[in-house]
Amino acid sequence: MDLQSALYTDLYQLAMGQSYFLKQKHEVTATFDYFFRKTPFEGGYVLFCGLEEVLSHLETFTFSEGDIAYLASEGFDKGFLEYLKTFQFKGTIKSMPEGTIVFPFIPILTVSGTILECQLIETYLLNTLNFQSLIATKASRIRHIVGDSKSLAEFGLRRAQGLAGMQASRAAFIGGFDHTSNVLAGKAYDIPISGTMAHAFIQSYDDELTAFRDFAETRPHNCVLLVDTYNTLKQGVPNAITVAKEMEARGERLLGIRLDSGDLAYLSKAARKQLDDAGLPYVKIAASNQLDEHVIRSLKEQQAQIDLYGVGTNLVVGKESAALDGVYKLCSFNNTPRIKISENLKKMNFPGEKQVYRYFNEEQQHIADAITLDDLEAPNTMAHPFEPHKQMALSPYQAVPLLQVVLKEGKRLHPELSAKELANIAKQNLEKLPIEHKRFAYPHIYKVGLSPELEALRNQLKKEKLKR
């Protein structure tokens, strides 16, 4: 299965593409916006993730002979298939950098090219950006509640939805995690890998102490012992202490113990006392078992003695919000602004090619985002997108344009950024987001608005369409 194939798309993209081709509209220019309408996890922001993988995919976007043969078997037009044999994406992408903090209804990325080019890449773009942004956002929320002094490891591959486990590991790292248990992701994205042991290893022995000893002998420099197979405090931790002392005698050190069940707050505090009383303050305590930002917050409130949190299922499946509702909407066709009409103003798109300006205060923190037309300067005022009577003055603040050309004529304009570089960018951007947008309960709503010119264009097109 080749996930880099141009067939990694929905049928309706190809069906529309064939119709454009047969009606000789396939080379008419168009622009699409990518944005989302609702923030996941009832949170205050989204961490944009997945752009670099999208750009890599588009640079090699072609139909193989096998792809063409399959489409022929599905009844596609021969002339259209001949066209696809030499098809390459030659369009332009303007985007916010990966790792940017983004908010509802703002164009995060725009695609310009022929209508066929724009349509064929839609599904892959949405699939990649929606999922990775969802997981990176979840990871950043967990990092926020944990703080910088504790370690975070992503353990979700076995519970991830198939091959999405790879993207989840990448996104979790960019969102603030330190390690992954996913060895292939470690190799592919240069992410530090970590792991401990399973209960099965201990159960395969007649006694726990011998299992611990053998594991420590074969892993002397990175040994973490799972202590809850039988009895955590009466057997598991004492056996780990015995092995730690034996390792000390060999000039080695036990790295840590892991708790994977029970009352993690109580057990971690009791285990910490046993380790400290044995003269082993350096042995770390790791905890896992259905953790997420809410459970970790509770553990911290209970003053749990946990040094490393292993988070799996709830992270990699984006629990509480199964998907980011990112959409891809036509905003210009044949150099003419286009709009989708709806009785619900929030379902209408913003027409025309656009730029987004982010405004910062004197402390370089985010204040607001204004959406305007592409050829205009940063506006001094903006109107609420759906409540026009609400206005905001922007003149005191510094404005920075967010949408930049990252792919032109199908080629990148900058070298690919590594996961480590993107993680640093995301961390810096999150530090600029005011704390009230990061809280879990009723986060402050970030201000997003339209420039007077864009608001006027939307109203004009809406009026014209309704007349027809």
| Those residues with Cβ within 8 angstroms of residue 50's Cβ, 6 or more apart along the chain or in another chain | 98, 128, 129, 131, 132, 133, 167, 171
147, 125, 158: which is closest to 49 by C-alpha?
125
Structure tokens at 140: 């950043």
Letter for the amino acid at 372?
T
Tokens 């292993």 — which residue?
310
Q: Give the span between the Cα atoms of 20 and 26, in whole angstroms.
A: 5
| Run of H or E residues at 65 | helix 65-73
The confidence band for 359, taking pLDDT boundaries of 50, 70 and 90, is very high
Q: Phi and psi for 330 in degrees, rounded to 5?
A: -65, 125
Is residue 467 within a helix (H) or strand (E), and if so which, with residue range?
Answer: helix 452-467
Domains and CATH numbers, the chain: 11-135+321-467 (3.20.140.10), 146-316 (3.20.20.70)
Structure letter (DSSP) for residue 329: E
Place of tokens 């790879």: 166
In this prediction, residues 402-420 reach a mean pLDDT of 97
Contacts of 200 (CB under 8 A, 6+ apart): none
* Cα 371 to Cα 383: distance, rounded to the nearest angstrom: 10
Helix (H) or strand (E) holding 411, with range, is strand 411-412
Beta strands in 269-397 (DSSP E): 284-287, 308-311, 326-333, 336-337, 354-360, 366-373, 381-383, 391-393
Provide mean pLDDT across the span 277-289.
97
Q: What is the mean pLDDT of the chain?
A: 96
> What is the rounded CA–CA span in Å between residue 76 and residue 219?
57
User: What pLDDT does 441 receive?
Assistant: 87
- Strand 151-154 with 179-180, pairing: parallel
**Alpha-carbon span 207 to 466, nearest angstrom:** 78
For residues 194 and 179, the answer to whether their CB atoms sit within 8 Å is yes
Say whether pLDDT at 47 is over 70: yes
Return the closest-CA partner of residue 304 out of 276, 285, 281. 285
Token pair 């305007």: residue: 372
Q: Would strands 256-259 and 284-287 be described as parallel, antiparallel, or unpaired? A: parallel
Cα gap 114→393, rounded to integer Å: 38
User: pLDDT digit string (tens) for 422-452?
Assistant: 999 999 999 999 999 999 989 999 999 999 9
User: pLDDT above 90 covers what percent of the chain?
Assistant: 94
pLDDT for the residue 345: 80
Encode pLDDT of 215-253 as tens digits. Answer: 999 999 999 999 999 999 999 999 999 999 999 999 999
Residue 175 contacts residue 137 (beta carbons within 8 Å):
yes
Average pLDDT of the residues in 56-64: 95
Q: Does residue 1 have a pLDDT over 70? A: no
Q: What's the token pair of residue 326?
A: 């990112």
> CA 308 to CA 177: how far, in whole Å?
11
What is the dihedral angle through the alpha carbons of 122, 127, 129, 132, rounded to the nearest 10 degrees?
A: -170
Q: Distance between terminal CA atoms of the chain?
A: 47
Reported pTM:
0.96
Q: Which pLDDT tens digit goes with each residue over 122-163?
A: 999 999 999 999 999 999 999 999 999 999 999 999 999 999
pLDDT of residue 120: 97
Residue 95 reports pLDDT greater than 70: yes
What 3-state class would DSSP assign to 447? strand
* Helical residues (DSSP H) of 147-290, grouped into ranges: 164-174, 183-189, 199-203, 208-218, 237-249, 264-277
pLDDT of amino acid 2:
66
Q: What is the DSSP letter of 345?
A: G
Q: How far apart are CA 253 and CA 235, in angstroms?
A: 20
Q: How far apart are CA 123 and CA 108, in angstroms?
A: 16
3-state secondary structure of 135: helix
Gap between the Cα atoms of 310 and 135, Å rounded? 15
Residue 179 pLDDT level (bands cut at 50, 70, 90): very high
- Check residue 344 and give its pLDDT: 79
Decide if pLDDT at 112 tops 70: yes
Q: Say what the pLDDT of residue 262 is.
A: 96
Q: Are 119 and 41 in contact (CB under 8 A)?
A: no
